[in-house]
Each structure stands twice: as structure tokens, then as C-alpha cells.
Amino acid sequence: MKAAAIIQARMTSSRLPGKVLMELGNRPMLQLVIERLQRSETLSDIIVATSAEEADDLIVDLCADLAIPVARGSRDDVLSRFAGALHLTGADTIVRVTADCPLIDSALIDKALGVFATERPDHLSCGSDGGYPRGINAEIIARAALEIAAREAAEPFEREHVTPFLYTRPDRFRLVKMEAPQELRRPDYRITVDEPADMAMMEALLKGIGGDPLAISLYDVVTFLDAHPEVAAMNGGVYQKHFTETGR
């Protein structure tokens, strides 16, 4: 099995424009995501999928500095962007990551890829639906299943959110959900960035934990937030869009 991470990123978020290049952990947030993924022992490729809009030239410039390949395409049809990114890798397994999840955990991704290699589903979810904090979310997709979705998905939300075509069709695709162990089971914690309150919480979290932001584990995050509920509450009221909603 050869696995590649595809990170979706764009500058024109409706709730917090430019968030993916805002500084977090002494580097742009997208760079933090990339460097944390580079600690994976399993991923062979990392690709950024962004839009062809002029605003996203800044993302392309950062990726050039980091020697990360970029696929560009539609702003709203993110699924087509992922399909374009497939041309940049020979991987048969794709890990979908979003650039607004700056503490994505490479060790957890490696664990999920191990489960995927054993069970060989079409889609594996590793996120809040299994009890993990929101923002640890990663999806692992068989390349062949992603190609089917790219050809056949028709609803706007299926095109924007990449994978609903797969996980809403359990009769057609084999689905696996990873359940969080009890010590990490905190689905109410938000460690993703959609609004200013999320960014303020992430800054407080990184400052509170301290040390190298690349070395922060999910266990570190959960332990800190358990001990500091006032930090966890900073973004507790942020609205989480349903997967059928479009427009970011």
C-alpha cells in the first residue's frame, strides 16, 4: 500500500478569510499542517489541493518554498481538485486532510492507515464521529473509490465536501469508522479553525502546552484541555456546519 495525503486549502474562507496562512506555532498554519504530516512513518507523498483563484497564489508560493506539489482547480468543486491531485501521485490510498486542522496527529494517521491496510475498506473515518476531538479528523479513501466519486457525484455538497458520496452509500461502499479510546474520547473539543474564536483558542492551547508545536500529541491536547476547561470553552459556541451545507 502506498499512501498520499492531500490537504485542501484556500484563502477565501467566508468566516475567517486567509486563515490557512495565519501564523500559528511561529509559522503559517498550512505549514504547521504540512510539517506535522511529514512526521508520519507511512505517508509517501503530501500534496496541497487549492483553487485556481488569484488569492490562492500565496498558497502556491508557500508550497514552492516547502517543495510541496500543488494541484489547482475549482474553488467550490473540491472533489475535482482531489481528482486532479491524483495525477501527482501513484498512491493507491488517499488521506484527506484540511488545512484548518493544525494539530492533525501523524501518529493517529499512521494507526488509521494500519487499520485500512488490514481491513481494505473504501473509506475509513477517523474523527469526531468516532469520538475524537473535532480537528483531528482525517479520512482515508481507496483511490478507486475516490475516482468513482469524482465521476459520479452530482450534488453540490458532495462536490464541496469530497467524501459524502461514499459514506452516504453504505450499500455500495465498504465503510470503517475508528472509535477513539476512552482516554482520547473528547468529541466536544474543537481543535480546528473556522472562526476567530477558534484561532484564539488554538493560540492559547499552543502557548499553554509550550515546547515544539510539531511534537504536540493528541494526548497532550486532551490532557491540557481537561485541566484547563476555560481554554476549551473559548470556542465552544462556534457553529459546526452540517456536511450537507455548502459555502465555506
Q: Summarize pLDDT for 55-65 with one digit per residue, the tens.
A: 999 999 999 99
Given this model, what pLDDT does residue 14 score? 82
pLDDT at residue 232 greater than cutoff 70: yes
- State whether residue 51 is helix, strand or coil: strand
Architecture of domain 3-193: Alpha-Beta Complex (3.90)
Residue 205 has a pLDDT of 98
What angle separates helix 78-85 from helix 143-152, to the nearest 10 degrees? Answer: 140
In the chain, the percentage of residues whose pLDDT exceeds 90 is 92
Q: What is the pLDDT of residue 108?
A: 96
In angstroms, the CA 64 to CA 116 distance is 31
Mean pLDDT of 20-46: 98
pLDDT at 69 over 70: yes
Q: What is the mean pLDDT of residues 218-231?
A: 97
- What pLDDT sits at residue 241? 60
pTM, to two decimals? 0.94
Residue 3: enclosing H or E segment and its boundaries?
strand 3-8
Residues whose CB falls within 8 Å of the CB of residue 105, separated by 6 or more in sequence, listed in order: 36, 136, 217, 218
pLDDT at 208 over 90: yes
Report the pLDDT averaged over residues 171-197.
96
What pLDDT is recorded for position 167?
Answer: 96
**Which pairs count as long-range contacts for 51-54, CB under 8 Å and 24+ apart, including other chains?**
51/10, 51/12, 51/75, 51/81, 53/10, 53/11, 53/12
Question: Which three cell numbers, joined as nine digits, stand for 147?
Answer: 475516482
Mean pLDDT of the chain: 95
Beta-ladder partners of 51: 73
Share of the chain above pLDDT 70, in %: 96
Looking at residue 248, its pLDDT comes to 52
pLDDT at 138: 85
3-state secondary structure of 9: coil
Q: Which pLDDT tens digit goes with each residue over 99-155?
A: 999 999 999 999 999 999 999 999 999 999 999 999 988 899 999 999 999 999 999
* Extents of the domains making up the chain: 3-193
User: Residue 240's pLDDT is what?
Assistant: 66
Residues 6+ apart with CB under 8 A from 78: 8, 49, 159, 160, 161, 162
